[in-house]
Amino acid sequence: MQRFILKNKNYIIIISIVLIVTGFISKLGFKNDLIFEITLAAASIIGVIPIAIQAYQALRIKVVSIDVLVTIAVTGAFIIKNYEESAIVTFLFLFGAFLEQRTLNKTRSAIKELTEMAPESALKLMENGEFEEVEVDEVDVGDTLLVKTGSKIPVDGTVITGEGYVNEASITGESIPVEKVSGLKVYAGTILENGTLQIVANRVGEDTTFGKIIELVEEAQDSKSEAERFIDRFSKYYTPFVLLLAVVVWVITKDIPLAITILVLGCPGALVIGVPVSNVAGIGNGARNGVLLKGSEVMHDFSRVDSIVFDKTGTLTIGKPKVSDVKYYVEDPKEILAYLSAIEKESDHPLAKAIVEYIGEVEPLLVENTDVIKGGGIIASIKGEKIAVGNVSLMESENVDISEEAYKDIEAFEKNGNSLVLTAVNGKLILLMGIRDQIREGVRAELRRLKKLGVKNLIVLSGDNQGTVDLVAKDLGLTEAYGNMLPEDKANYIATLQKQGQIVAFVGDGVNDSPSLAIANIGIAMGNGTDVAIETSDVVLINSNFSYLPHALGLTKATVRNMRQNILIAVGVVAFLLFSLFFSEWMNMSIGMLVHEASILVVILNGMRLLRYRLKK
């Protein structure tokens, strides 16, 4: 029966609020005090049952929790027929607990989703020389595996033969597929977008990079679930004190009504609702302004953050390569752009897609004699013209005339972090394009706002090469920048910062970011990221709007201040009531109740101020 009641607490909350509303409508609208008392008495009885059960369970393990005090106080209020107080206190207590629990349980499905994303099968070379599909668990170190286009790479390994482009976003977070040829490493969980590879298994099962991601998320989530709420620590001392005070007064004075009055006046109605109402108002403000905040623990930790670590791709940058710089070496490039578009439409490489998107709709042309040069580019014929499209090495091998001016342009484009695509017609350089991931609009200004909010260190960690990461960091004015980092490297770096006493937030958007999101004091996911990243995180920036981040930080600081104000109000009112009860003649039950209800209203109104919070520009 206890399990059934606790399992259905949400229904009890609904029934309680319906009864309370019905009672007040009867009294205020129809002047019917009988229905008012009956409905609020029923709400008190129904609402106190789950609280009493939790109080009993706490007492069994010798813990005097706030549930104990609330149960006794509500019972006392009920005995002296103050049904309004008993009904409201039980509802507010249950509703506050519901809000806390609901937000703290949202990360639990992340492990399951990560596991589902792991490779399940592999094509293994058998003794008869044929490749057969087997379970991943049947693959051992040293086995030879075949990976076809569109398949997940099942293990960490080394390419033996074949070539292709692998999407490593699940590991490095980088959107541009990486070319893989003989001798290069590949990682489990990444996807071969085109080509065919034969690999030898180096690490299998839990030892793979993807396996370590899952393990890191599990460990980090377990450590986070041990965090204690401030209100529990406070009630550890507060509830026994009030209970003991009431018992002592009863023993000394033999005045049962006085003892009950102490319990009622000492009942932490404002304390119980003060923190949840601030929390709910803060979460509500965030949701209306593009920020999902998962609970009061998040509020507290986020407000103290002094270091924010960013993933680069998809966080500071858009995550999609675009043509950023163009230099023409002819007066009218229209025909050449049509040639280039026709050739690049033959390729599914991300750089080719960026070029086609940049050029837009042009006249379709017939491409002939296409020759893909490994690690260089493409040579083809259009209308009898020999077209070469690729990097500088391809141009030099094709004896393309590159002037000193063009070499200076190439150097400048590379310094800007571009991937280069050159186009030559019949041995003459016609066009130079620079393609790179674009920094999100407004990021520079938002980073400055974060610094004004007290963030001391702004750091970028990326799987991209160090040169590109340095350029982004310099452009944005970041404190530190580290490239060529795998997920475990990022997580280890964050752990190092935490050992130095820093409160660290990590901002990312991919599966590869999950360990860092989980191990950081605050994990912040971009809303267009993977479901795993979003569920593992503590904060989600809806629609991936980077401007929401400073608002989120400012909001949490304001919310924590508001929580402390409400706690101070609640404790101060209780202290005032108890002091007045013992040391004045004017304090009585009705006045105490009036002040008590007023304090609840004050903390609610104070918390509601957060709904109007806006971070100043």
Which residue numbers are catalytic?
A: 311
- Asked whether the beta carbons of 99 and 10 are under 8 A apart, the reply is no
Rounded to whole angstroms, what are the CA distances from 26 to 23, 36, 38, 338, 469? 5, 6, 11, 78, 67
Q: What angle, 0 to 180 degrees and rounded to 10, lies between the N-to-C axes of helices 548-583 and 269-288?
A: 170
Sole residue written with tokens 């042009």: 362
Sign of CA dihedral 12, 49, 232, 238: positive
Tokens for 93? Answer: 């207590």
- Asked whether the beta carbons of 581 and 262 are under 8 A apart, the reply is yes
Q: Where are the alpha helices (DSSP H) in 345-433?
A: 350-359, 392-397, 404-415
Three-state secondary structure call for residue 400: coil
Sequence-ordered list of residues with C-beta below 8 angstroms from that of 4, at least 6 positions apart, any chain = none
In single-letter form, the type of residue at position 614 comes to R
Rounded to whole angstroms, what are the CA distances from 60 to 63, 107, 236? 7, 30, 15
Report the distance separating Cα 401 and Cα 412, nearest Å.
19
Q: Give the DSSP H or E segment for 334.
A: helix 334-344
In single-letter form, the type of residue at position 267 comes to C
Three-state secondary structure call for residue 317: strand
Q: Give the DSSP H or E segment for 291.
A: strand 291-293
